[in-house]
A and B are shown apart, each in its own frame.
Chain A
Amino acid sequence: MSAVLVKDLTMRYRGHTALHGVGLEFQENTIHGLLGRNGAGKTTLMRILTGQEFETSGRVEVFGQAPRENEAVLRKVCFIRESLKYPNYYKLREALAAASIACDGWDAAFAARLVRDFQLPANRQLKKLSRGQLSAVGIVIGLASRAPLTLFDEPYLGLDAVARQIFYDRLLEDFAEHPRTVVLSTHLIDEVADLIEHVVLVDGGRVVLDADADELRGRAVSVSGPAEAVAAYADGVPSLHRSALGGRLRVALAHRPDGPADGVSVEPLSLQELIVLTTNQGDPK
């Protein structure tokens, strides 16, 4: 079953279009990676999915219903935004108390463990925490909410590598025990590549790639060698990128060609490389 179903979704703000006819599906109980450059439309998409923004046109279904002001749907959703703002005067325990009120699946013991993992001060005003600590608070809330649909939008601003690894480890552990639908928006592709099962790549408000993460791995290849041999080998396969040096040519191909690799060297591309090459590298509009 799909947790999220989007068809032909368009979001227009005054003067610019953030999403152009986006279509995608997030299967239930899966960790999805929503990848793309800053400004690609990831946040807008997630805000629409959580009813925070209203789409211009198109169909949006979360657990089979339109999310807009739909309490039956919203009670299953938790959305941790980049730089989530906490109310003035709130301390950690009030933020967690609010989350425990709002989230039906809240696990206080798990939250307490995460607070220890991230070494968060319980009695300091949230306003006084560092950027990284604030991000950790969001992660604690997102994970302990156990919401059937949990969205993390670049949740780790200011978090160091160790803390990010704690996040990934706890997410995987808890996901294994309590499967749910997680959407992780990020540009740290290499860090999350092993975590996500499904990849959606958004670029310039359009979905440019939508595939099983593990299938993508090693599907695209980089072919290099004498220009003629490379051209012959790569003939007929969509190329993502091409660069030449002297008589040598290197092309990135969407998949490995069928024919024999005579006189050329073929190397698989990582998910990160594939995504960088698939993304429009010009200036975003």
Chain B
Amino acid sequence: MSPTEKALRIQALKAKHTFAIQWYSLVIAIGLVAVTFAVAKDVPYQHRTTGALSAFYLSSVGTQPWLINQVFPFAMALSVSRNAFVRATMLIIAVEALVAGVGLTVLSRLESATHGWFVHMRLLNMPYIHQDNAFTQFLVYGVPMAVVSTMMAFIAAVFRAFGQIGLWVFAVGLAVVAVAIIMVLTLTHSADGILHFFGSQPMLADLALYPLALVVLFGTGWALLMKRARV
């Protein structure tokens, strides 16, 4: 067995925790929302759009911190190298994004076909993310998954490398950068321009291309931190 394969099998050992949590929460979200609208019959159809899809992405935030702060030290005791662990995590993130893209696309088509799970709700197939093309739809669903995973992997690696103080510095740093950007935009009166720029871009660029840049950014930072990680 190659080192990467070993690391992959160890990371996937508790498949429920590594892969399935977001799917559980999606199923629960669909169920809850469908029941709600089945009961609340007086809600007009055009108001039956919910943001419950965010539960899918939000519920996956625990996976990478668990892998990096719990499974990684144990794997290193069993002499899995950092590089093998990182390669395996990359594969897992890619597979997760792939499965999210395909799965959510299929479910959103199913949602249309069943007239919103028979209650005219819109949970997956929301107007502002709908793509007619199945492939672009796949990207719109899949890329954000990769963003969440790599961002959480990066944050977990910051904690691994620098501990609580590292997280604190990272959070404060993020806030400072955000405030700085807003100030610059406000002072230069360019906020509208920026909004206009993103508004004028194709939906695909906003939802898949620019997020992909975040994946590269966080992913690089994470991989660099993991190379020096101690356990």
| A contact residues vs B (CB 8 Å cutoff) | 47, 50-54, 69-71, 74-81, 84-90, 94-95, 97-99, 101-103, 141, 145, 147
Q: How far is the CA of A50 from the CA of B14 in the complex (A)?
A: 26
Q: How far is the CA of A75 from the CA of B5 in the complex (A)?
A: 13
Report chain A residues within 8 Å CB of B9: 101
Q: How far is the CA of A102 from the CA of B64 in the complex (A)?
A: 20
Closest-CB distance, A159 to chain B (whole angstroms): 18
Report chain B residues within 8 Å CB of A90: 14, 74
Residue contact B13 to A98, C-beta cutoff 8 Å: yes
Report chain B residues within 8 Å CB of A69: 81-83
B17 CB within 8 Å of chain A: yes
Report chain B residues within 8 Å CB of A98: 10, 13, 74-75, 78
Given contact pairs A74-B3, A101-B1, enumerate 8 new A-B contacts (beta carbons under 8 Å): A71-B3, A81-B77, A85-B70, A85-B74, A87-B14, A89-B17, A90-B14, A98-B74
Selected contact of B78 from candidates A47, A51, A78, A85, CB within 8 Å: A78
Report chain B residues within 8 Å CB of A71: 3, 81, 83-84
Closest-CB distance, A146 to chain B (whole angstroms): 13
- Of all chain A residues, which has the CB nearest B3? A71
Report chain A residues within 8 Å CB of B73: 85
Q: How far is the CA of A145 from the CA of B78 in the complex (A)?
A: 9
Q: Specify which of B17, B66, B75, B79 lies most central, judged by the most chain A CB atoms within 10 Å of its CB.
A: B79
Residue contact B79 to A101, C-beta cutoff 8 Å: no
Report chain A residues within 8 Å CB of B58: none
Within 8 A of A (CB), among B1-52: 1, 3, 6, 9-10, 13-14, 17
Selected contact of A78 from candidates B1, B79, B83, CB within 8 Å: B79
Q: How far is the CA of A51 from the CA of B80 in the complex (A)?
A: 10
- Of all chain A residues, which has the CB nearest B70? A87
Selected contact of B75 from candidates A54, A97, A102, CB within 8 Å: A102
